Structure 1
């Protein structure tokens, strides 16, 4: 039986204000999340990436140092994913040095389950996001290594969800997910181990269930397009208790889920 608690924040985008993001208020908006996490004492603090909005290397480093100082005040295991803005002008190594945690794919054990931290390339190229194919062997091996149910976390979602109405991605699916997202899902589904997949990047709360796997995305902390003119202030808590998980997103764009927590191999229709 699995028992774990995660506090989650996504797409902090510390940096300049834009028409839809209050990046200039990111540090202020982080305070309630950090206070909440320190009270909740989670097993893991999960940061889904895009901690900054990239401007230039000195500015980006300064903003990341500020964000890292806030998140580092929470004394627990920390997972920081790389987002596309995080590597716009800084390297993976620079991010790791400032945050003080590995910025690579790895597995984090929990009580009765595990977090599979999947870190493929996230830099957006002229044609969009590159294929994730080179990291699929690692994902396949990590999922096969244990019979415990897995929570896969990635900055970029792979559900193939509809993005109609999304401010950024309605007409930009090439930067919303990987071109080979169906193959990524196939690896997860064939493992029979994935109980939940959590991502950020698309700046809204969503649930998409594909072949028995719930794919969830979490709203950006500083986003305003769903809560104009104020930022969402979104952050989340994930509670896993036995065969159930509850996800609650706090802030101006609330969201709540309560679903079974079990490997995808136990969710399929009989005879399939």
Structure 2
């Protein structure tokens, strides 16, 4: 009787939501363990944003005009929100390459053969990437402080607003990793996923208010920059950090940047998670 009862308990269907959460956490743990065993993945992920901070701060710092000032300190404070946002969005390429690598090795097929929630593999992967992104942001914030970035340089702020800004960055980064997941499932090799994950990010990040004041752009380009989801996150961070360069544009995302950043990120997650899970169900290695 006991054996029969145990068998029934084992085969009884569990709550789909709890199963999805449990399976996602298991996959996330697997990816985090893998990252810890390949430390160069984390190290190389840290080098690029640090290089951007140093190069933009010291090479372009004295040449950019922010609010009528060419002070390198003002530009450094203006720049950091853009660098933070660029860093979290560039994690997209890594997410896509990782999933494409799993596809190429047949690991995804093995996961699909297991009795687990369909979206758990992708959710677990994106959660692991979120942890890595959070670590990168932490290190980058320390580097930014060392080169002279300060919160509250253009007004008043507080710890809650600063933490809120980093929360928006992580939410945006998590949203963009779902775009990477879809790209990784749609290509045949990790190399193609890396290229596909980066090629569209450059216009998204550079046609924005990340590195220059969008008011200095031509009118048609300024409208694109003001309605760019990436720009909304950058603007929201400048507002919460109280850094210079806060936009005077009449565009709704610039006037309500915090809400715009949240809405854009949630929409991206809903749309691209749905598409990625659908692609996962039909994908073949």
TM tier relative to shorter chain = under 0.3
Max Rg structure:
2
Structure with the larger helix share? 2
Structure with the larger strand share? 1
Normalised to the residue count of structure 1, the TM-score between the two structures is 0.27
Which structure carries more relative contact order (alpha carbon 8 Å, separation 6+)?
2
